[in-house]
Structure 1
Amino acid sequence: MITRLGVDDAGELLTVQRAAYVGESMVYDQFLPPLTETLDEVRAVLARDDAVVLGLREHGRLLGAVRVMPSGEVARLCVAPDRQGDGVGTALLRAAIAAGGTWLFTGDRSLGNLRLYEKHGFTEQRREPFGDHNLVFLSR
């Protein structure tokens, strides 16, 4: 079931987020923002009235989450590593779109992410250099 997460979910959310982004850090950089974000920073986002943070739970366990920011940005889509490829990311992305998500970005080496986003109607708008790779900005 997908529900809105609250401040009390911060620790579990941060744990899933860090686990989910380890693979990305091996492709890019160990200092990716989803890995360096603190518990207090996660709590602050969860406390915002203008940000929507959605989580998918199964039998009480948080399997993944996504943020929809006031600008329409879909951010920090993350899925527990043992559940990647099971449709959790797809369900969360659809929920983010329904909650007003209209754009996002990812790295150009994240081919699976790019396929997922394009499958759900996001199209590339531009690329921006970032370190030794490019950020790909997509919108619907």
Structure 2
Amino acid sequence: MEAVVSLLVPDAGELLTLQRAAYVTEAQAHSDLQLPPLMQSLDELMAELSAPSVMALGLRDAGQRLVAAVRVSLAPTKAVAELGRLVVAPDMQGRGLGGRLLGLVEQRLPREVVELQLFTGEHSPANLRLYTKFGYRETHRTRTPSGYALVHLRKQLR
């Protein structure tokens, strides 16, 4: 079984590589090679990982390769958290790693967090199924400049 790790600034290069590999299929599905996860720089990711309001979790396989990751940003009030950049290595998809990370996030959130929010592209049926399975409900959609919709979802925790 994959080991759970907290991701820190020294993990940024490996995390960025995983993020880019995982988002290529999203970019293809949405005909948008300018997705923010593909455009994020190493410096931007390092700054994100060093922010006190960000929790980053990953899963490493037996060979210590980072195979899945997720980031959560806490709102200033700490009542709401935004889940983002849930990524699984392309060769490891379909093995439950994304669902495992969703469960880990909920276990590790501060007690004050009562709602999780996230968004995904409308052409991401596997993502939408996963989030729905874990209790997320669609709240609204917003159009991107590229013409597709972002599906916004939330989950009440308490």
Is the shorter-chain TM-score for this pair beyond 0.5, marking a shared fold?
yes
Question: By how many angstroms is 1:46 displaced?
Answer: 0.9
Is structure 2 residue 140 aligned with structure 1 residue 138?
Answer: no
* Corresponding residue for residue 63 of structure 1: 67
Question: Quick check: 1:107 aligned with 2:111?
Answer: no
Letter in 1 for 2:25: G
Indicate the RMSD between aligned Cα atoms, in angstroms: 1.1
Cα distance, 1:50 vs structure 2 = 1.3
Aligned residue among 56, 80, 91 for 2:89: 80
**Paired amino acid for 2:152:** F
Deviation at 1:96, TM superposition (A): 2.0
State the TM-score, normalizing by the size of structure 2.
Answer: 0.85
Identity within the alignment, %: 47
- In 1, the alpha carbon distance for the partners of 2:90 and 2:117 equals 24
Structure 2 SS opposite 1:73? strand
Q: Which runs of 5+ in 1 are unaligned?
A: none
**Unmatched 5+ residue regions in structure 2?**
76-80, 110-114
User: TM-score under structure 1 normalisation?
Assistant: 0.96
Cα offset, 1:92, TM superposition:
1.0
Counting only pairs closer than 5 Å after superposition, residues 1-140 of structure 1 correspond to structure 2 as 1-28=3-30, 29-59=32-62, 60-71=64-75, 72-100=81-109, 102-130=116-144, 131-140=146-155
Structure-2 separation of matches of 1:107 and 1:139: 15
Q: Which has the higher helix share?
A: 1
Count of residue pairs brought into register by the alignment: 140
Using the alignment, how far apart are the partners of 1:97 and 1:135 within structure 2? Answer: 23
Report if the CA contact (8 A) 1:6-1:46 is conserved: yes
User: Which of the pair has more CA radius of gyration?
Assistant: 2
Q: Distance in 2 between matches of 1:68 and 1:105?
A: 12
Counterpart CA distance in 2 for 1:110 and 1:96 is 21
Stretches (4+) displaced over 4 A: none
Q: What's the offset of the Cα at 1:97?
A: 2.5
